[in-house]
Chains A and B, each alone.
Chain A
Amino acid sequence: MTTLDLPVRVHATLVTDRRELAPGVVLLGLDAPDVVAATQPGQFVMAIPPSGEAAATALGVYEAEGKRASLLFFVTGNRTRELSELRVGERLDVVGPLGNGFDLSGKPSRVAIVAGGVGIASVLLPAQALVRAGARVQLLYGARTAALLVEAERFNEAGCALALATDDGTTGYHGYVTDLLERLPRVDLILACGPTPMLRAVARIAATLGVRAQLSLEETFACGVGGCWGCVVPIVRTSAQAPRFPPANAGGSDFVNARICKEGPVFWSHELRW
């Protein structure tokens, strides 16, 4: 049998720091130079549970600098609870980085980034890259309540202008963060990550404003590498990200299911058919 030379992309990392940013919101710093070296803004990793007793968890790469990558996540179930209980010096194996992140190649000069809740975890890297490239970046950041608007300062430091919104009015605008997008002076590009209803609203507003938007979609993953077709979204056939599949009905159809983990997680909003 032929023997393969396999690139090993499962990385054994060590927890270098751990902070609870708010109740149930954890930032884990990892000694992970290989992940840092390979990560593009908007990519994610599959974090392998140390107990080996549950499926791996897809988490956006929050920071990537020098030897340190970090993961920012909300504790929502057993798998994230297990990750949240890791202590400094303990080992966390991750697969990745995975997926197609944000396309920042168009040299946009004015960019709005819309983040909802834990969606903030996937937008620091693109924000930093855009600021470095000379773009003016406005972060519109919403959460249920003020305490959950974690890491807003970090984006200030990164050179972004900030506008905050909370569902309960405890900080900033009282209402949906997408309301702020509607009132924003014209931008060249919108990036967004957050809950699906927020992303749908961003897509709608972007279409009305005539601005192109890239959305980082949220869905339950199983494999995270394109093997199981569990995390699909309908996308127009003409998209560069569309898998080349034949129409699934006799009359033909103009869309096809793309895998969020493989072709995404970031898609152009005008190419989605949801």
Chain B
Amino acid sequence: MVETKPSLAVKLGKLRLEYPTLMGSGCYGSGQEFAPFANLNKIGAVVLKSVTRLPRLGNPTPRLVHTPAGMLNAIGLQNPGIDWYLDHEVPKYAKLPWRVVGSVAGFSVDDYAYVCERLAARDEIAAVELNISCPNVASEGETFACDPKLTASVVRACRATTDKTLIVKLSPNVTDIAAIALEAEGAGADALAVINTVRGMSIDAETWHPRLGNVTGGLSGPAIRPIAVLAVYEVARVATIPIVGQGGIETTRDALEFFLAGAAAVGIGTANFTDPRIPERIADELRDYLWNRNLASIGEIVGKANVGFANVYEYEGDEG
């Protein structure tokens, strides 16, 4: 019999999270936007929208298209640039009762290292995610995550700038995601976010025009869930650092697929657009799921559907 409530706590490198859920970058603002509608006491952390060295206006509209079982987006990394961001945005995060993870995007190895160093130096930022897989910026955006050598270069350069947890967000738009994952781990990543959006497109048959202002976009939502589960499964067979599994998670059952495939934590993005209560519901139901099976912690189910599971996490009990 389990005496205490099962623990949902998880560690990603040095980052300890009370709940194994991260709100996906670009989907949740800093959390303040959702605070009136969602219970942020029951999330692990919010991954902030990606920031770049210079300000970016982002892509022309339409930036969003609803598609069967999901949506396409092409925001184009709109952000105020790291200088303004550090002066005006980051100070607001000091008072937030939830953890925020910074997200870095760039167009060169030097960009990533520069922005990562400045962002990670701030106490408000609990950890840093490297967005090397944005599919929605002309040319370079996704190049890094599609090339094992470039992935390693970016991660190594950023690793040298900070001791904080580095999460590397991988692209599904590659032939062998496990090979990229290994490069990221070898270069010093603490965790891997698997996956970013899947490239896609939608065309209006009346106007003969692509529906997105950027022409192409990134597909998210339940439509990509099987792709994401497989990616986590494949990465978990080779990587020995924790995986944040994400892609179309809307229910506790969906989240469980990712844990069982080998994810240490899960990302929730598009589902927040369906119902902002989903992260809280998943947290409560995960605890019930473990309780009903007499399991003490979420770690006990990680990778249980993955025969070649390579991971060796540190999991904590309720006391931490």
Contacts and interface: CB of A to CB of B under 8 A. Distances in A.
A232 B277 contact: no
B250 interface: yes
A225 B34 contact: yes
A1 B75 contact: no
Nearest to B55: A248
A105 interface: no
Given A56-B273, A220-B65, A233-B61, A4 B35 contact: yes
Contact of A220 (B38, B66, B80): B66
B248 to A, nearest CB: 12
Interface in A40-61: 48-49, 52-56
Given A1-B41, A1-B97, A55-B270, A229 B75 contact: yes
A197 to B, nearest CB: 13
A93 B29 contact: no
Interface residues of B, number: 49
Interface string A211-232: 0000000011111111111111
A54 B34 contact: no
B13 interface: no
Interface in A1-26: 1-4, 6-10
B28 to A, nearest CB: 5
Main secondary structure of the interface of B (DSSP, over half): loop
Contacts of A2: 97
Main secondary structure of the interface of A (DSSP, over half): loop
A224 B18 CA distance: 28
A204 interface: no
Interface in B53-87: 54-58, 61-66, 68-69, 71, 73, 75, 78, 80-81, 83-84
A257 interface: yes
Interface in B229-275: 250-251, 270, 272-275
B73 A222 contact: yes
Contacts of A136: none
Interface stretch (A144-152, A158-166, A239-247): A239-247
A95 interface: yes
A1 B62 CA distance: 40
A6 B56 CA distance: 33
A79 interface: yes
A106 interface: no
A245 B80 contact: yes
Given A231-B61, A232-B61, A248-B55, 20 more contacts: A4-B35, A9-B36, A10-B275, A48-B275, A52-B250, A52-B275, A54-B69, A55-B66, A77-B66, A219-B61, A222-B64, A222-B73, A227-B34, A228-B28, A228-B75, A229-B58, A230-B75, A246-B80, A248-B57, A257-B57
10 contacts: A1-B97, A53-B222, A55-B274, A223-B34, A227-B34, A227-B272, A228-B26, A229-B78, A230-B64, A257-B57
Interface of B: 18, 26-29, 33-41, 49, 54-58, 61-66, 68-69, 71, 73, 75, 78, 80-81, 83-84, 88, 97, 221-222, 250-251, 270, 272-277
